[in-house]
Amino acid sequence: MITNCVGELEYLASPLLATPHGFSTRLGGVSRDHLASLNLGVHRGDRADCLRENYRRFRAATGTEAPRLATVHQVHGRAVWAVTEADGQADPLDDTPLEGDGLVTDRPGVTLMVFYADCVPILFFDPVRRAVGACHAGWRGTAAGVARATVEALEARYGCRRGDIRAAIGPAIGPCCFETDADVPQAMEAALGGLAKPWVRQAGAKYHVDLKAINRAILLDAGLSEAHVEKSDVCTCCEHQRYWSHRYTHGLRGSQAAAIQLEAAP
């Protein structure tokens, strides 16, 4: 992935997604103290004026400035919503009625956005049918198959062909830092069978799990081409000075956002 800088603001973008999009870092905003500086989480105790300015900066930098913004209350599941402008928010601080972990649309007038601070953000783009998607995959959402559910929603709602869909897996906690008890690999095996096994390593009584690699395996198993799936190498916990990490801060943190918007057809 490519790191782009606009002043002090940094975000990542994938060459696979030829439409406005970006994965934020924690750099380049105006929030203060433990939320410094580009906090985009509206439920982290930040000031409204700081949040609105952070959103303005991030959306301007990434070109995701559609009139409406669609988000979801993330619940670590596999529900995916197909949205239009009517489902979006005019103000990023407005509450959303949607509960789930994925969004898809074929409307250029709405930006899709999911939030992360160790969990896996994934953005999708189909340049043929012209549709986009976004999902948030924590370990529970990964086991539940939210990435596959987003591909299925693009196919069912907009007629996307899986061979045309591009996906970018953004920054998230790496296997170096995601140490778990046996419940996590057991849940992965129960839900995904052997698909996750190569990406789980036992170390004594603990396990190290590569959530980004598992989601990549899920997408390939769902029918996406290897050439159409990109995975960030960034570990948000290792790089906690550039990214919010829930594990590193024990929850005292802001949130990154992954945003994508369908560019209007010429």
Determine the Cα–Cα distance for residues 101 and 78; give it in Å rounded to an integer.
Answer: 6
Environment class of 100 (CB within 10 Å of its CB; exposed 0-12, middle 13-18, buried 19+): buried
pLDDT at 171: 98
pLDDT at 136: 98
18-29: pLDDT as tens digits: 999 999 999 999
Look up residue 148 and give its two tokens.
Answer: 């596959």
Q: Is the pLDDT of residue 266 over 80?
A: no
State the pTM of this model: 0.98
Give the pLDDT band of residue 265 (cuts 50, 70, 90): confident
Determine the Cα–Cα distance for residues 68 and 78; give it in Å rounded to an integer.
Answer: 23
Determine the Cα–Cα distance for residues 113 and 76; give it in Å rounded to an integer.
Answer: 15
**At CA 26, angle to CA 233 and CA 102, rounded to 5?**
65
41-62: pLDDT as tens digits: 999 999 999 999 999 999 999 9
82-136: pLDDT as tens digits: 999 999 999 999 999 999 999 999 999 999 999 999 999 999 999 999 999 999 9
Whether the bond between 37 and the residue before it is cis, its omega within 30 degrees of 0, is: yes
Determine the Cα–Cα distance for residues 101 and 72; give it in Å rounded to an integer.
Answer: 7
Taking phi over 0 as left and psi of -120 to 50 as alpha, with beta for the rest, 110 belongs to beta
Number of residues that this document lists for the chain = 266
CB atoms within 10 A of CB 27: 17
pLDDT at 220: 98
Give the pLDDT band of residue 175 (cuts 50, 70, 90): very high
Domains detected in the chain: 2-261 (3.60.140.10)
Q: Is the pLDDT of residue 211 over 80?
A: yes
Determine the Cα–Cα distance for residues 124 and 141; give it in Å rounded to an integer.
Answer: 17
Give the pLDDT band of residue 264 (cuts 50, 70, 90): confident
